[in-house]
Chain A
Amino acid sequence: MIHKFKLSGHNVLLDVNSGGVHIVDDLTYDLLDNVEPPFEDKCPEGVMKKLSRSYDPGEIEECYEEIVELYKEKILFSEDDYEKFALASVASPIKAMCLHVSHDCNLRCKYCFASTGDYGVGRKNMPLEIAKKAIDFLIEKSYGRKFLEVDFFGGEPSMNYDVVKETVKYAREQEKIHDKVFRFTTTTNGMKLTDEMIDFINQEMYNVVLSIDGRKEVNDRMRVRVDGTGCYDRITENFKRLVEKRGNDKDWYVRGTYTKYNLDFSEDVMHLYDLGFEQISVEPVMADPSEPYAITEADLPRIFKEYEVLADKITRVRESGRFINFFHFMLDLDQGPCAIKRLRGCGCGNEYVAVTPDGDIFPCHQFVGIDEYKMGSILDGSFDMKMKDDFARAHVYTKPECKKCWAKFYCSGGCNANNYMYQGDIRAAHKLSCQIQKKRLEVAILMKALQLMDTAE
């Protein structure tokens, strides 16, 4: 399978199954609309006749030979022979956990997927005993895995900060006993960050996600306190202090959501950059189409254009010798994860689970509150292996839209929860997400390709 696209005056050709990326001229681009394996020794007469209206016959023949050569090298029209690996992660250990230490929040963000923090099932904090049992559960289920990930999530995790601290302390004790290494991460809205909390996060958290949407008027329209006022002024100050003290050896990024209200979101990315935040993620809101802020199909042309605008802005920053990283343009065309990892993505419900303040287990944070997806309980040790198996078997070859999609080895089948919520089935690709994802990937692939070409020259 190949995928080709035109962007910013370049013709990009992707060989899906080898991961090969090629920049081609107009002749190659047009010729590939007319030829495919099996190839002949010479360019077929009908194709030659058709294209010779626009191109020199000698050039067409030469180009055809180059295509055939790359085909023989198996970096063009290469075979998809990965399906035999698709069951490699069935019966895999659990290695990551989303720990819902608080189903409460001090903000009332209008687009919150968790019903402003309580997931629609009541505001509460996780008791320490349940957090410890969750750590025990993860250690027990992670046979053979040394590195374990625990994400302190909410609601707002800082609403139950003492339990976060004690849980980290407990896990650090346990990792020595069981020969594991815990990698902690957290997401915070920044409202309650004290200096002591910042120091703790910077010491213990492998990655921290700082929630802010961008420009003050954009952020404060959606990210509001209980009294309806915006949070921008407070969180920007707190986030600046955290980042200044964090150092370069640990990950962090500011993360925003864009909605129908700010389809010019490249302005928000650059605003965050101007505030001093150089690690940036800004993503589309996922919401019921009836919501006034929801992104719909009609917004896609505008959004696609905006990603191109954003790429230009980021390129200009880099060309001036400064650093900026936009999370969704990050791509490693050579040293990324193996093909087997790419068949399944996040591993929710299989390698990754979420635990609620009551000790209930769900495939991930997005499924919390959906009773039919409750997998078990930390308290009684129950765990639905049949459901785990079902999630393990949800990979790009059992998702019909993904199987035939060029982007499947980059997005790995997308978000199962979004598939369920908006398409009714974890194996049914969420079309809106896919379309945005594919555009982001095209922009990212071209950016990376141009960067590699520059380096080579």
Chain B
Amino acid sequence: MKHIKTINKANLKQTAAKGGCGKCQASCQSACKTSCTVANQKCEREA
């Protein structure tokens, strides 16, 4: 495309279908601790 360059796979919808296994790390959101945006975590589901 000339005007729009898509950067990533935009696959969030597909992750919902197989998601929710709960294996991933708990992600404290508070600024005093191991605070992280959830988006910086890895999915831990085994393929």
- Whose C-beta in chain B lies nearest to the C-beta of A452? B7
- Whose C-beta in chain A lies nearest to the C-beta of B40? A330
Min CB–CB distance B31 → chain A (angstroms): 4
| A16-67 at interface with B (beta carbon < 8 Å) | 17-25, 27-28, 59, 62-63, 66-67
Min CB–CB distance B42 → chain A (angstroms): 7
Min CB–CB distance A196 → chain B (angstroms): 24
- Whose C-beta in chain A lies nearest to the C-beta of B44? A147
| B1-47 at interface with A (beta carbon < 8 Å) | 1-13, 15-16, 18-45
Chain B residues whose CB sits within 8 angstroms of the CB of A93 once the complex forms: 22
| A375-394 at interface with B (beta carbon < 8 Å) | none
Chain A residues whose CB sits within 8 angstroms of the CB of B9 once the complex forms: 333-334
Q: Does A193 contact B (CB under 8 A)?
A: no
> Which DSSP category, helix, strand, loop or mixed, fits chain B's interface?
loop
Q: Does A198 contact B (CB under 8 A)?
A: no
B8–A21 touching, CB < 8 Å: yes
Q: Does A75 contact B (CB under 8 A)?
A: yes
Chain B residues whose CB sits within 8 angstroms of the CB of A96 once the complex forms: 25-26
A338–B20 touching, CB < 8 Å: yes
A327–B38 touching, CB < 8 Å: no
B13–A17 touching, CB < 8 Å: yes
A281–B7 touching, CB < 8 Å: no
B13–A327 touching, CB < 8 Å: no
Chain B residues whose CB sits within 8 angstroms of the CB of A333 once the complex forms: 7-9
A341–B19 touching, CB < 8 Å: yes
Sorting the interface of chain A by its residue count into under 10, 10 to 19, 20 to 34 or 35 or more gives: 35 or more
Other-chain contact of A437, B23, B26, B37 (Cβ < 8 Å): B37
Chain B residues whose CB sits within 8 angstroms of the CB of A69 once the complex forms: 1
A338–B19 touching, CB < 8 Å: yes
B25–A345 touching, CB < 8 Å: no
A162 to B13, CA, bound (A): 47
Whether A22 touches B39, Cβ cut-off 8 Å, given contacts A339-B13, A346-B28, is no
Q: Does A207 contact B (CB under 8 A)?
A: yes
A336–B8 touching, CB < 8 Å: no
Chain A residues whose CB sits within 8 angstroms of the CB of B24 once the complex forms: 337, 341
Q: Does A351 contact B (CB under 8 A)?
A: yes
B12–A19 touching, CB < 8 Å: yes
Contact with B along A171-186 (1 / 0, CB 8 A): 0000000000001010
Min CB–CB distance A364 → chain B (angstroms): 7
Q: Does A89 contact B (CB under 8 A)?
A: yes
Min CB–CB distance B38 → chain A (angstroms): 4
Other-chain contact of A284, B13, B31, B33 (Cβ < 8 Å): B31
Q: Which residues of B contact A (CB under 8 A)?
A: 1-13, 15-16, 18-45
